[in-house]
Chain A
Amino acid sequence: MRFDPHARVQRQDESMPRSPAIAALEARLASGSGGADAVGAFLDANAFPLAEPPLYTFVYRGHADAVRLRHWVHGLQTSSPFRRLDGTDLWCYTLELPDESRVEYKIEVVARGRAEWIEDPLNPQRARDPFGANSVVQARGYEIPDWAREGEEVRRGQMDELAVESETFGSARHVTVYRPAEFRANRRYPLLIVHDGGDYVEYAGLRQVLDQLIDRFEIPRMIVALLHPGDRMSEYAADPAHARFVAEELLPRLEREYPLLPDPGSRGLMGASLGAVASFHAALEYPGRFGRMLLQSGSFLFTDIGANESGPVFDRIVDMMNAYRAAPTAIAEKAFVSVGVYEPLVSENRALIPVLRRGGADVRFVESRDGHNWENWRDRLREGLSWLFPGPLWMVYE
């Protein structure tokens, strides 16, 4: 299967690109020159997925009726059948990936009438998310950013736990607040409010990223409020109650508790997927309150004609986006938007950019060869945060 960003139909098995290493193995197997366990020797000698850029071959060994690659790359079929090498229990599937791609996947093994999705036993690379973990293939040129790792000598921020009383929700909401290293009560700091903050910390390494970027002077020391949603699918889907909580209850509480800079340019909202929608909606409902927005892979669904067919959960979002597209306003001075080209929301995010600009925002838009996942969102944080909140790097020469 050759990569084609415009393809919507997977080509059939016969068009699968041939891995030279697999072809050589098949030749050895056919000639009997590979020894008693040619397959075992092959597995021992290579790392998997087998990288022969731009080809990447996924391999599974075991008795099965069928094996499939399961991934979430928009434009490709999400289920791609492996081919079993004649006379062996070795299954393989070769995919062409552009450089710098990063793809999360599982292997589906069908045996005795039962299908099971498993992490790739031959690949140690994993990405975790709220649903568990996926295996990861990293194409040539992709590297986990060094600023996303724990740095031994990097000064670490602290986490405070806050119970924010909410009349809107009728109960206290739990918010975690990141305070930067060397926090001083007599200084004033920018504020970033992060939707799904717990997941950003757990799956996108947000604490390490903040520590690193602050330590490198790429962003200023800042206060970061990490939200933990209640009923996420409702609250984050353009719910006026959530926007009210953020702007009228959480923000004043944070202003009382922490020394914050007062100008909108020092206040930001951030989120991914529905969290991006919640950020956008809060800024839209409270213009002039938040001057910075970091929106990742937002579910910015809209209809140019006809009704929303994505399900009732998205009705409010579609209504909001249709109204905004008809009459865009300046909801923030600066907005950073990112999306993976392998995710289904790429078109909606691309469509948002000219509308935001028409509304008067200074917009930076970044696409990556990745999907709708936390590590994609992590990898864009440096560029997004440092653009929205430039640190003193420009001024620091140690």
Chain B
Amino acid sequence: MRGSRRRRATDDAGSPSPLVLLGPRGGGLALRDVVGELEAGGALSPGARIAAITAGWRDREANEGLIDPRLADRVVDLELYRRSDRIAEADAELARAHRETRDRLKALRRAYNLRLHGLIEAHRRLGELRGDASVLRAERGEALAAIRRLDARHLDRVVEIRSEFERRTTLPERDAVRSQRREVAARLEGTEAIVLEGGHVGNLLSRLRLFGGRKLLDGRPVIARSAGAMVLTERVVLFHDRPPWGEGHPEVFDAGLGIAEGLVALPHASARLALDDRTRGARLTARFSPASCVLLDPGHRIDRAGDGWSGSEDLERLDAAGRRVPFCTAA
């Protein structure tokens, strides 16, 4: 039984294809079970071949042992990571332009984080100030608005720099890219669904873009796990409140492919977020409102359902007060 929460969720093409977002492995929910459900519902033919994108695993890509072994003989790995290496080897000019863009984005990210941490610290300390409630409420609101403005500007700049790279390099027209894309298209033929595994979200997103972005996924049911789910949302948010080197604050990384609208996907939420800290939770929710911050732990699942989402019974999200509440609870 699943709760439901209304969200506009169809992609630009108005594709009715099923879209399933999964939490990390474990929790009693195997990929094979989801595929079986899609088969039973008629979205997939029995025994249908499935394309896999495991670029997030980087050098472990196409390691069949990591995919549900019960699906191993039906899975065709598109090997996007390995192919991107081949493109870089074949097209030195593109590789150089990519490195330059990566360095620019790195510099931008450093500057963003410097500013972000300052703004978050200011917001945190304002929350501790005591005094005239109406004055402080307005100041806290403005501090939060400043964080939202920074997040939005950063996202704009990332997209701008990346678009400039794509424009300058005329990416789809380059021989090495076209050749590898053709091979991917050939591998896709005869497959009925795409599994998007997790891993390194940056590597996964960049490889997806290199091979056509959302066009690569159009027209087929998609099952996406962890980082795979993150890249399908409109905005990829990186987070770890307690990394081993100290404290962390969620940061906007990049625009996602925008197929899963209205969600901020937070895999491993229980392990990576200080969910007992409501101040942090409320700030996270407010930064990305009206998108819903979904806590994707092992075994959790969320399905596109018409113009909304249907979550597994134990799926939770953060509400405006920073509390974890059932996903189906209205804000």
Interface residues in chain A, defined as those with a beta carbon under 8 Å from any beta carbon in chain B:
182, 184, 186, 218, 382-383, 386-387, 390, 392-398
Contacts and interface: CB of A to CB of B under 8 A. Distances in A.
Contact of B201 (A182, A383, A397): A397
A186 B85 contact: yes
B243 interface: yes
9 contacts: A182-B59, A386-B244, A386-B245, A387-B246, A390-B243, A396-B201, A397-B201, A398-B56, A398-B226
Contact of A390 (B198, B200, B245): B245
Contacts of A387: 245-246
Nearest to A181: B59
Contact of A398 (B25, B59, B245): B25
Interface in B196-214: 198-203
B232 to A, nearest CB: 13
A395 to B, nearest CB: 5
Given A182-B59, A186-B85, A392-B200, A397 B246 contact: no
A184 B226 contact: no
Contacts of A186: 85
Given A382-B244, A383-B244, A395 B25 contact: no
A184 B60 CA distance: 12
Given A182-B59, A186-B85, A396 B244 contact: no
A398 B198 contact: yes
A397 B244 contact: no
Contact of B24 (A218, A390, A398): A398
A9 B164 CA distance: 70
B227 A398 contact: yes
A292 to B, nearest CB: 13
A387 B246 CA distance: 8
Nearest to B203: A395
B85 A397 contact: no
Given A182-B59, A182-B60, A186-B85, A394 B244 contact: no
Contact of A397 (B60, B243, B268): B268
B324 interface: no
Interface string B221-257: 0000011001000000010100111101000010000
Contacts of B57: 398
B258 interface: no
B267 interface: yes
B24 A397 contact: yes
B266 to A, nearest CB: 9
A397 B59 contact: no
Nearest to B244: A386
A186 B85 CA distance: 10
Interface SS of B by simple majority: mixed
A170 B238 CA distance: 51
**Pairs A-B, 5 closest by C-beta atoms:** A387-B245, A397-B227, A397-B226, A397-B267, A386-B244
A222 B161 CA distance: 29
Contact of B244 (A184, A218, A392, A398): A218
A153 to B, nearest CB: 12
Given A182-B59, A184-B59, A397 B245 contact: no
Nearest to B85: A186
Given A390-B243, A395-B201, A396-B227, 7 more contacts: A182-B60, A382-B244, A383-B245, A394-B248, A397-B199, A398-B226, A398-B227
Contact of A394 (B59, B85, B240): B240
Contacts of B244: 218, 382-383, 386, 393
B200 A395 contact: yes
Contacts of A382: 244
Contacts of A394: 238, 240, 243, 248
Given A383-B244, A383-B245, A387-B245, A397 B202 contact: no
A397 B230 contact: yes
A186 B200 CA distance: 19
Contact of A395 (B238, B245, B246): B238
A392 B243 CA distance: 11
Contacts of A398: 24-25, 56-57, 198-199, 226-227
Nearest to B225: A398
Contacts of B56: 396, 398
Nearest to B265: A397
Contacts of B59: 182, 184
A188 to B, nearest CB: 11
A368 to B, nearest CB: 15
A395 B202 contact: yes
Contacts of B85: 186
A115 B149 CA distance: 73
B55 to A, nearest CB: 13
Contacts of A182: 59-60
Interface string B168-195: 0000000000000000000000000000
Contacts of A218: 243-244
Interface in B258-295: 267-268
A147 to B, nearest CB: 8
B192 to A, nearest CB: 25
A394 B227 CA distance: 11
A396 B267 CA distance: 10
Among A218, A390, A395, A397, residue most surrounded by chain B Cβ atoms (within 10 Å): A397
Nearest to A186: B85
Contacts of A395: 200-203, 238, 253
B320 to A, nearest CB: 25
A362 to B, nearest CB: 12
A390 B238 CA distance: 14
A395 B272 CA distance: 12
A308 to B, nearest CB: 36
Contacts of B243: 218, 386, 390, 393-394
Contacts of A386: 243-245
